[in-house]
Structure 1
Amino acid sequence: MGSKHDQPQPTDPVWNECHGDAEVIQLLKNRISELEGEIKACNELLAELPDVFERRFQQRLERLMERYQLLAEQVDQEQIERPQPVLRLPKFLQKRQRSA
């Protein structure tokens, strides 16, 4: 190489390659740190996913239950307002029941 101490100097092409490699290594380390942070954030979101689904399910279930309740109240009100017909057995079945 070009120095007395066998160390690359700024004027040597070897120094530029080593210096460039160090920068690339540092950039790669930085990128790895960024990606690890993204992975951690994704894992946190995945951990929350069941709760998100549960909340969403509960919201939909509440709406269905409200509709069901309104329909049940409406049916109850209709039954109160109009008398229900009394179902009677046909005469031939009434005789059978008595004999049985």
Structure 2
Amino acid sequence: MNWLWAIIVGLVLGLIAKAIIPGKQKIPLWLTVVFGILGGILGNWAATGLGVNHTRGIDWIRHLLQVAGAVVIVAIGDQLWASIRGRGRSQTR
């Protein structure tokens, strides 16, 4: 059941990150989910390092770090995806 939550949270984080980043991202939905999952992991790692991963009530700081991690991963991943996809098309012509 944990993998299902990881996919759902990854989708939500990825879509939020795509909404925050200006412009249109060209990554497919499945890659948005993967990048969202990676961003969540990065945010959890940062929250643990800062000592704010477990607080009373809702872990707002951890959630903000997860969103920030997703934004970073989606932004970098979108650029990599565009360069890989663009390079592949120009080589086949």
| TM-score after normalising by structure 1 | 0.34
| TM-score after normalising by structure 2 | 0.37
User: Which protein is bigger by CA-based radius of gyration?
Assistant: 1
Higher relative contact order (CA 8 A, sep 6+): 2
